[in-house]
Amino acid sequence: MKTKGLFFSLVAGTLLLLSSCGKDEVFKQYKELPNQTWERIEEGKKLTFDNIEITKENESYDIVVMLRHTPYINEDQVKFKMLITSPSGTTRESVHQIQLKDRDNKGWRGDALGDLIDIEEVCKQYVTFSEKGLYTIELVNMGTKYETVGLLEVGLKVVKSDLNIKTK
């Protein structure tokens, strides 16, 4: 009888822990790139993430870009323009660059599993949205080559900023 109670407590505790993970995540989506290629000139240069619902005005958020690539990618960095469009149509834009290799330019940054390398990078931190509603974020390839080959997926995640100040 005690074992059943202990087992039930463990299962309930695990479910509670899992349900609380990611509670500050507002949006997360990946876009798979055809032929493992992100075009710079032609159709496909712009990746659109829409229906990003912001329910509270003036709260701080972090915008994270996630890349999944192979070791055969033809760039050492991914450069892109980010356009954030509000429900009323106002657009803010900024340019970002994610380094794929380490400082010595020898190894890959991120988590590798076989021939897949995943990188998550906070590109905008402590962003506030001035109005409630559905936002759209577009990422536009600004690489140096006509196409970035070896990039499987590009993802976007919006999370509430961690504003807890930690003291020693």
Q: What would the DSSP string read from start to end of 111-124?
A: EEETTEEEEEEEEE
Identify residue 112 by its one-letter amino acid code: A
- Tell me: the pLDDT tens digits for 40-90? 887 779 999 999 999 988 899 999 999 999 998 888 889 999 999 999 999
Per-residue pLDDT band for 2 (boundaries 50, 70, 90) equals very low
Place of tokens 């020898």: 106
pLDDT of residue 105 exceeding 60, the answer is yes
Per-residue pLDDT band for 31 (boundaries 50, 70, 90) equals very high
pLDDT of residue 5 exceeding 50, the answer is no
pLDDT of residue 94 exceeding 80, the answer is yes
- Give the pLDDT of residue 4: 44
